[in-house]
Amino acid sequence: MNRRRLVCALAALAGAAGARAPQKNQEAKKEAEKLAPYLPTPKLVVERMLQLAAVKPGEKLFDLGSGDGRIVIMAAQQFQADATGVELDPQLVKESAEQIHRLGLDAKARIIQGDLLQQDYSAADVLTVYLLPSANDKLRPILERQLRNGTRIVAHDFLFRGWIAEREQYIESDGEGRSHTLYLYVIHK
């Protein structure tokens, strides 16, 4: 019975959302463009992602949905990668770009504000993603077209349907009480 009430309440909210002013509808549309909520990846998990990808100095790394830039920053700082983040949220882009500048990483790290489904990843050696399964489904054909043989992709918690991971790494605890699974894919053409 509680489930039925919840479904009714959600339906009522959806109906109310449809009746909002045009400005609210535009906000809803913008929110729908996001492919994942912003959820910072714990430092331990960031490090494990980059280790799993075996990032080497000078390699081109793209972090899709880069949030506060922590993967980009660690890739540039500790792994000497040429790291680029792609982020939709202008405030997160501003904050991460400022942090990159404060750390003196401008030559090795940058953040692009934009839709990650509209970028060119053909130069990538490594990609990191922490996106919802539906976003990975949208991204997969783009990556299959653009990425070259040997490009490594590390997905955090959500796999790419239709691809077989070469390695999986389970992290029992991130120090914050959560477990994580990392999936390593390698493009073979």
What is this structure's pTM? 0.82
CATH hierarchy code of domain 43-186: 3.40.50.150
CB atoms < 10 A from the CB of 113, how many? 14
Find the mean pLDDT for residues 34-63: 95
pLDDT at 23: 52
pLDDT at 36: 85
pLDDT at 122: 98
pLDDT at 35: 81
Higher pLDDT, residue 11 or 63? 63
Q: Is the pLDDT of residue 189 over 50?
A: yes
pLDDT at 33: 57
pLDDT digits (tens, 9 = 90+) for 14-28: 343 444 444 544 543
Instruction: Sketch the domain layout of the chain as residue ranges.
Output: 2-33, 43-186
pLDDT at 131: 95
β-pairing verdict for 126-129 and 60-64:
parallel
pLDDT digits (tens, 9 = 90+) for 142-176: 999 999 999 999 999 999 999 999 999 999 999 88
Task: Outline where DSSP puts E strands in 99-138.
Answer: 109-113, 126-129
pLDDT at 185: 98
pLDDT at 163: 97
Backbone angles phi, psi at 186, to 5 degrees: -125, 130
Any idea which residue has 């972090």 for tokens? 63
Sequential DSSP letters for 134-171 = HHHHHHHHHHHHHPPTT-EEEEESS--TT---SEEEEE
Q: Is the pLDDT of residue 47 over 50?
A: yes
pLDDT digits (tens, 9 = 90+) for 73-126: 999 999 999 999 999 999 999 999 999 999 999 999 999 999 999 999 999 999
122: exposed, middle or buried (C-beta count within 10 Å: 0-12, 13-18, 19+)?
A: exposed
